[in-house]
Copies of this chain bind each other. A is one copy, B any other.
Amino acid sequence: MLTLLSRGPAVRSQERKYRRVATASVFTRARVLDWAVMQTEPKPVAISRADPPKPFPARSPIDLPESRRYRLKSRLLGPPLPTDALEHERLGIPTALAVFSSDCISSSAYATEEILRVLFVAAGAAAFSLVVGVTIAMLVVLAFLILSYRETIREYPTAGGAYMVTRDNFGLLPAQVAGVSLLTDYVLTVAVSTAAGTAALVSAFPGLASYSVPITLGFIGVIVFMNLKGVRESGKAFAVPTYFFIAIMGLMLVMGLYKLAAGNLGVIPHADGMLKAKHQGRAIDGIFYGLGLGVMLHAFAVSGTAVTGVEAISNGVTAFRKPEWLNARKTLVIMGSVLATLFLGLSYMASHVHPVPYETGFPTVISQVGKQVFGTGGLGSVLFYALQAGTMLILVLAANTSFADFPRLASFHAGDNFMPKQLTKRGHRLVFSNGILFLAITAAVLVIATGAKIEVLISMYAIGVFASFTLSQSGMAKHHLRKKEPGWRKGIFINATGAVLSLVVLLIFIRFKFNQGAWVVILLVPIMVSVLVRLNKQYTAEAGQLEHEARAAATAPILPRHVVIVFIARLDQSAARAIQYARALMPDEMRAVHIAWDRSAAEQLAEEWRELGLSRVPLELVDCPDRRIARSALEVVAREVAGGKTEVSVLLPHRLYRRLWHRLLHDHTGDEIADAVSKLEHANVTMVPFQMGLLAATEAPPSA
């Protein structure tokens, strides 16, 4: 484990610590901590885990072999982490910026391209003179969102995600809408970001173009593996790609501006002269013969993809160094400024060098601008490849952020009984493994379905995030109205404006993207919310039923009669073992039952039984002409439990095979009986184990 060079020293030392704890726990885990024998005077039950661990002798009875599954898991992911190891690193502003902003800042890598794509179709080359305007319009929205979230962070310094804010101000049901919206958005973030990362890679190496889908799935696979290993918010590791991307983008913009000022940054000479000519022609049409407001609004809505990820900091205020909320607000403003600079800068460059948004999705606009600015000389091409690498890395990191957020949000839903409880369960390495796997599979399906095309994915994107912005900012406005703390009027103005702007972007987006994929999300969110509500009803009903007089039931008197029934198919060692256990139970009455679907076999068994002279366990033969063994067994037991005065123990000889294929050689009549019988009240099915050995090669000749 220590030889893995890709992890920083901090991670390694942490891991060493965990491993130490885990090793010690082998000895302490099953140690009996307290025996609270409550007879006349109840003794207190205490968990005395602070005791120093006492190692057991070497040949201790708990020296059991580990399961194959556990060994595989431990080899792949490392040793299990103890629950105590769950502690959050406290982040300073520079690290926090790296951790929380990758999703947000990485959007600048594709937002300009998507705006251009919309404008290009309608306006041709005139797109280049319109892109800056659209960008600035979205930056106004961004400014209000930043201001809005500054309010949220101050008011909800512990958990300020849309789910929590909506739940607090509007109740559980609207919170489900906000939550589901965000969850769909996280899935799309993974799909869009990894697809965009692949586009960055393909722009550098066009030969890889036909492998886009497998490469994208490979990115998802790597992120899943890292997340299951539990390498999550380990701050410094995140800093490298984020700052590297900011630096190389910054360099490109500065060089671009310098060359522009010096007058030696020309328009990209597109190989496809036809395309250029055609678009030039159409551009003239567009400008002179009236370019619709619709196109501008459409481009504006698409530019909304740039501001996804702004909410990330509000979810993680507790991870900041003290004073948490102040540091978080500062980081938020820095993040917004960086995004604004890069986004506007790239759009401005694009308006001068005229990169074409290709239908294939590559070379990307950012790569075309980069190539034009850096040139194709020795240093220039090094910088170009650095830009592509930086873009790819930050995009993959952005997808990784969803892998931290999605499982956490899903665990909130599950904690409120709106999603399956399994999502609250921390796995081998303390992460929400079920949530991680669910997110990965959903995103992978999307990638495969859309062929990893950003243009298609983007039509579904941003809806969820703007819906949650709207709900969370409205919630904040209501919060101000309710609390009326100092400065509440200003707060209401900011949050209400934020909510309205988010809603406007949302509506425009839906208007223009509905037919291209947005309908999927529009359809999915209400369906999912209704499913979640149904789940909640079920959980509540179950809890009610289970808690109903549980305490009274625990001390209820026992049934007056205990009968043991052993179902046996033939008289072999596994049956003998079951009979031995039946006798150990010392019930009021016991018998062996054979379901006689084959008359001659039944008669033979009866004969053996008679010869054996087995005392105390009589044999009953039950005729079964239709060969429905489980049904006959059910009827035998049902007769016994009828009346509700008898507790029946149903014993089934259970042979344990060492290998799966050995097990497959036998039918599962025992399991069928167990399934059928255990549906009866007071019918308690016991599998009496008998271990089958391994085959000795010399034991059995092939022919008799």
In the bound assembly, the distance between CA atoms of A558 and B691 in angstroms comes to 18
In the bound assembly, the distance between CA atoms of A384 and B654 in angstroms comes to 62
In the complex, which residue of chain B has the Cβ closest to the Cβ of A427?
B627
A-B CB proximity, top 7 nearest: A45-B606, A61-B642, A540-B700, A553-B576, A546-B572, A172-B703, A30-B635
A684-704 vs B, CB cutoff 8 Å, 1 = contact: the mask equals: 111111011101110111111
Cβ contacts under 8 Å, A49 to chain B: 623
Cβ contacts under 8 Å, A20 to chain B: none
Q: Is the CB of B691 within 8 A of A535?
A: no
Q: Is the CB of A684 within 8 A of B681?
A: no
**A553-B580, A654-B678 known; A573-B602 Cβ under 8 A:** no
Select which of B550, B602, B634, B636 is within 8 A of A47 by beta carbon: B602
Q: Is the CB of A619 within 8 A of B172?
A: no
Cβ contacts under 8 Å, A66 to chain B: 631
Q: 11 extra interchain contacts, Cβ-Cβ under 8 A, other than A83-B627, A551-B571, A581-B684?
A: A25-B626, A35-B618, A38-B609, A39-B615, A42-B610, A45-B609, A83-B625, A537-B700, A554-B575, A585-B649, A686-B686
Interface of A is mostly: mixed
Q: List 8 A-B contacts (CB under 8 A).
A: A36-B619, A44-B610, A64-B635, A84-B625, A171-B703, A533-B702, A538-B700, A679-B689
Residue A205 lies at the interface, judged by CB distance under 8 Å to chain B: no
Cβ contacts under 8 Å, A80 to chain B: 626-628
Interface 9-mer from A113-121, A222-230, A286-294, A417-425: A417-425
In the bound assembly, the distance between CA atoms of A701 and B539 in angstroms comes to 11
Residue A271 lies at the interface, judged by CB distance under 8 Å to chain B: no
In the bound assembly, the distance between CA atoms of A699 and B543 in angstroms comes to 11
Select which of B618, B656, B700 is within 8 A of A678 by beta carbon: B656
Select which of B47, B546, B614 is within 8 A of A623 by beta carbon: B47
Select which of B61, B427, B651, B674 is within 8 A of A638 by beta carbon: B61
Cβ contacts under 8 Å, A81 to chain B: 626
Q: Is the CB of B562 within 8 A of A585?
A: yes
Residue A87 lies at the interface, judged by CB distance under 8 Å to chain B: no
Cβ contacts under 8 Å, A555 to chain B: 612, 614-615
Q: Is the CB of B422 within 8 A of A667?
A: yes
A111-154 vs B, CB cutoff 8 Å, 1 = contact: the mask equals: 00000000000000000000000000000000000000000000
